[in-house]
């Protein structure tokens, strides 16, 4: 098999400064892609960029809040100007606020929805014209099994991910005629700092590299295939 199947392609990973996003960025770089990552934490973003560069990969790190339309557009434009047309967009940036929905604030709701749902809409809208012009592209939205299931204290987070699943499916229909594949990856519990995993054994949880593997699979599909959704669970319940 080709060791560098993404050679020459440009990939943009939002929320790429740590956890799942950083693992995805590293995997795509290993496959030959020129990678751009973004995040809101400048310190974490710099550390991630340095780690990738020390590993020998080309990376463009951009501080951006993708819940802003202007910032999303600027991020897409800067990536294109610096690296070239974006062939792969991974909408990974996400936040979680947990607790009974009736006890959370309007600010909590807005924070989650603006990043997990609105941010995906804004980034896809900013990047899609490049892909449409080229007649090809991959958009991978990192969702969650919380977009398929419910749990106590997950009302706002689940709402954002259920919404993301609907958005992903509709965008897939809108863009497939242009040669663009839109997919959702829905992992279960992943061992990151994203959310508390009280009582779970980290050794049995999914790892960020597992999610990165799924993304790598999606962006190397044969031209005639279209995998719209991937659900991921650990082999043994944590």
Q: Which phi and psi angles does 38 have, rounded to 5°?
A: -135, 160
Q: Would you call 57 a catalytic residue per the annotation? A: no
Q: Contact, 88 vs 137, CB < 8 A?
A: yes
Residues 6+ apart with CB under 8 A from 78: 60, 62
Q: Which phi and psi angles does 227 have, rounded to 5°?
A: -90, 115
**d(C-alpha 217, C-alpha 94), whole Å:** 22
- The helix (run of H) or strand (run of E) holding residue 39 is strand 34-39
Residues 6+ apart with CB under 8 A from 42: 63
- From the list 157, 160, 162, 191, the catalytic residue is 157
**d(C-alpha 98, C-alpha 116), whole Å:** 14
User: If you ran DSSP here, which 8-state letter would residue 201 be given?
Assistant: -
**d(C-alpha 56, C-alpha 75), whole Å:** 23
Coil, strand or helix: which one is 179?
coil
Tokens coding 129:
């014209």
Active site residues: 157
């Amino acid at each position: 098999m080709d060791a560098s199947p993404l050679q020459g392609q440009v990939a943009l990973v939002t929320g790429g400064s740590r956890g799942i996003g950083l693992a995805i960025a590293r995997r795509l770089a290993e496959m030959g892609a020129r990678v751009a990552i973004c995040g809101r934490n400048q310190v974490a973003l710099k550390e991630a960029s340095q780690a990738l560069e020390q590993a020998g990969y080309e990376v463009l790190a951009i501080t951006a809040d993708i819940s802003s339309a202007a910032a999303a557009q600027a991020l897409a434009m800067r990536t294109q100007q610096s690296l070239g047309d974006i062939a792969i967009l991974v909408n990974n940036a996400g936040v979680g606020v947990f607790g009974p929905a009736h006890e959370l604030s309007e600010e909590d709701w807005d924070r989650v929805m603006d990043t997990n749902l609105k941010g995906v809409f804004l980034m896809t809208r900013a990047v899609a014209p490049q892909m449409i012009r080229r007649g090809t592209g991959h958009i991978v939205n990192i969702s969650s099994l919380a977009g398929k299931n419910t749990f106590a204290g997950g009302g706002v987070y689940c709402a954002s991910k259920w919404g993301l699943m609907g958005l992903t499916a509709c965008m897939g229909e809108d863009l497939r005629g242009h040669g663009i594949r839109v997919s959702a990856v829905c992992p279960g519990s992943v061992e990151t700092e994203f959310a508390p995993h009280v009582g779970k054994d980290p050794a049995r949880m999914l790892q960020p590299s597992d999610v990165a593997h799924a993304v790598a699979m999606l962006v190397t599909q044969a031209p005639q295939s279209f995998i719209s959704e991937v659900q991921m669970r650990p082999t043994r319940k944590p």
